[in-house]
Chain A
């Protein structure tokens, strides 16, 4: 998908060339911004590795409480996973529409992606509220602290992505698909797909492993 950006920028530059003469800076800037964002994502990946390590180290430290097998409700987690996976796909469709300069379709797919992401967060918040109400809040044991930290860190990232998506949709409506909005949509696309990859780790390490015990 990264190759789309230079091409998009080239189209933009060609337009500018016609109007203003050569202007190749946009081309380089867009690609460099996306690379820089990728480097940030890699540092975020290391943050998640540390949180995963903490979770794995503390996964048996229940402070003498019996484990709650209902905590790992697999059909519920499957619904969360479906929301996030389909939203990853619909964001991909939005990026295809960006490549075709179809702003109406970009907005449609981004809107669907946003709703799916919001459903995921809704399901997760509901899960957290139930756990706290049952007395299994983050203060009940080291294990629950690690659980809320890991799943919550991912949830915070998704929430940040949703806020970013709303802002970008507003900006795209206002300014149209310019080289700048395209670069930003590309960065959010990396962020969104990256969070889906982290979620694979979460449902495997936390929920599938938890439901086995």
Chain B
């Protein structure tokens, strides 16, 4: 991610190094495109969920990067490297929390046999796909 490049095109009325209107407009246009694509794909049901789901997740991740770059400007200012360090650490923790939880819950669910439950709870557990 080259955050530095956004500083280069200065607006006529702004000083060099200033975040200008152009930064926000670029970010907004990209965000609109990256929102419209997944909604259009899912609404038109262009493919099976097996293909569509990863595609939509990748586009969502891309849009998050666009927001970080064009709206949050994390690398600017004297604390830029601290912002990025905090973000990276959070990324690691979020990955552990998400993947760990899903893995554990999937394994727990898979290793549960229907006879381990009384008939009342059995149905609700069986409908859990994970």
Residues of A within 8 A of B (CB): 1-6, 31-32, 34-35, 38-39, 42, 45-46, 49-50, 52-54, 56-64, 74-75, 77-78, 81-82, 85-86, 88-89, 92-93, 96, 99, 141-142, 190, 193-194, 196-197, 200-201, 203-204, 208-209, 211-213
CA distance A95 to B59 in the complex (A): 27
CB-defined contacts of B42 to chain A, threshold 8 Å: 74, 208, 211-212
Q: Are A49 and B97 in contact (CB under 8 A)?
A: yes
CA distance A171 to B52 in the complex (A): 47
Consensus secondary structure, chain B interface: helix
CB-defined contacts of A201 to chain B, threshold 8 Å: 60, 64
Q: Are B98 and A35 in contact (CB under 8 A)?
A: no
CA distance A75 to B93 in the complex (A): 34
- The answer to whether A2 and B83 touch (CB under 8 A), given A60-B129, A197-B64, A197-B68, is yes
CA distance A96 to B64 in the complex (A): 21
Q: Are B77 and A64 in contact (CB under 8 A)?
A: no
CA distance A81 to B20 in the complex (A): 24
Query: Which among B19, B76, B77, B129 has the greatest number of chain A C-beta atoms within 10 A?
Result: B77
Which of B32, B39, B57, B128 interacts with A61 by CB under 8 Å? Answer: B128
Q: Smallest distance from the beta carbon of A62 to chain B beta carbons, Å?
A: 6
Q: Are A204 and B60 in contact (CB under 8 A)?
A: yes
CA distance A208 to B60 in the complex (A): 10
Q: Smallest distance from the beta carbon of A189 to chain B beta carbons, Å?
A: 8
Which of B27, B35, B123 interacts with A64 by CB under 8 Å? Answer: B123
